[in-house]
Amino acid sequence: MAVLCRPATEVPEHVITMDDTLAIARELHRDHPDLDLVLRLISHTGVRKRHLVQPIERTLNHPGFESRNELFLAEAKKRVPPVVRRALDHAALRVEDIDLIVFVSCTGFSMPSPTAWLINEMGFRPQTRQLPIAQLGCAAGGAAVNRAHDFCTAYPDRNALVVACEFCSLCYQPTDLGVGQLLSNGLFGDAVAAAVVRGGQDGLGVRLERNGSYLIPHTEEWISYAVRATGFHFQLDKRVPGTMEPLAPVLEELAEAHQWKVADLDFYIVHAGGPRILADLGRFLNVPAEAFRHSRDTLTEYGNIASAVVLDALGRLFEEDTALDGHRGILAGFGPGITAEVALGSWNDRRSDER
């Protein structure tokens, strides 16, 4: 077994509200033939505010892919270590106790991975294993938890650290005027999140018991990046909001394989790509809207923060402090592919090893 401990999340200091977003869209795209549609779609995202690594004036200026990627790395080096330290504190572990670092991001690129910098900068052991994940988008948060779970299952006395670093605002493309791109300009936000998966039975958090992956066949072009000289251009197919209908049975089948019923669980931590995702998933799973309150709160307060969503939503479950030992739940991330990464677990309140 392995225990997913309390996550830590940090968002940047620069804030843009929904009113700001709509005003900017009206100003920049006043002649766009689908402006009314874009404004309506953005208004229906449920996002109240988002956080950005730069002031909005600088965000709207595109200095080129090289400069954007350099800024990603600089901001990651500044913002990731404090979040990692908080996650380690939540798990009552030290850097030398970590055996694997899973680092996920779809908004910047470097080789070697930022894991190498983290190991050197923060004093992790040189033997620490590295698993960077760069191409699963929003599903990567769930994938990171699942790969950490797999590692701790193979090595029961080891511990893994999961880090999600997403600066979506650095992917803003001022020349992209498609409806999907303009919608994304009002949906995505920036955040860093981290959590520890402890090997063994001890720790306050979610005792991970089973995980699974699923790819909807022939949907790989529905969520994608066009990689161009100006960087990553987000592409979103209009069919994406309907993907919960084929994915809901996947969650049901995984729960049934574990002799659980997905409609009877005590907590639900899912990627909040948008309000329709949550509404449809609740309808297809026969789960009340209230069950997704943590995911909805993340969307409302931070926007879609990509792979960091599931960690932040899980952190809100900890903050609520209503889960009891043995409560059963599900964690799911959805992203390009179309891919689902799903985990099942029970609330665990064994803390004998904590300092």
The answer as to whether 354 is a domain residue is no
Out of 201, 228, 259, pick the residue that ends a domain.
Answer: 201
Residues 115 and 255 in one domain: no
Alpha carbon 252 to chain centroid, angstroms: 22
Residues 267 and 322 in one domain: yes
Residues 341 and 249 in one domain: yes
Out of 166, 182, 201, pick the residue that ends a domain.
Answer: 201
**Structure tokens given for 112:** 């070697």
Q: What distances in angstroms separate CA 69 from CA 110, 167, 187, 227, 305, one per listed residue?
A: 8, 10, 21, 13, 18
Residues 193 and 213 in one domain: no
Residues 46 and 161 in one domain: yes
Residues 315 and 342 in one domain: yes
Residues 177 and 44 in one domain: yes
CA–CA distance, 329 with 343 (Å, rounded to integer): 9
pLDDT tens by residue, 228-280: 999 898 888 889 888 999 999 999 999 999 999 999 999 999 997 888 889 99
More confident residue, 201 or 355: 201
- What CATH number does residue 46 fall under? 3.40.47.10
- Catalytic hit among 138, 152, 168, 171: 138
Alpha carbon 337 to chain centroid, angstroms: 16
Residues 190 and 208 in one domain: no
Residues 125 and 145 in one domain: yes
Domain count, the chain: 2
CA–CA distance, 217 with 22 (Å, rounded to integer): 36
Residues 70 and 196 in one domain: yes
> What pLDDT does 311 receive?
98
The answer as to whether 241 is a domain residue is yes
Alpha carbon 218 to chain centroid, angstroms: 23
Out of 154, 179, 201, pick the residue that ends a domain.
Answer: 201
CA–CA distance, 186 with 17 (Å, rounded to integer): 9
The answer as to whether 87 is a domain residue is yes
The answer as to whether 355 is a domain residue is no
**CB–CB of 116/99 below 8 Å?**
no
Identify the domain containing residue 70 by its residue range. Answer: 2-201
Residue 211 bridge partners (DSSP) = 343
> Is 168 an active-site residue?
no
Amino acid, res. 103: F
pLDDT tens by residue, 45-90: 999 999 999 999 999 999 999 999 999 999 999 999 999 999 999 9
- Of 311, 249, 320, nearest in space to 280 by CA: 249
CA–CA distance, 235 with 243 (Å, rounded to integer): 16
Residues 242 and 127 in one domain: no
Phi and psi at residue 153, to the nearest 5°: -75, -40
pLDDT bin (cut points 50, 70, 90) of residue 351 is low
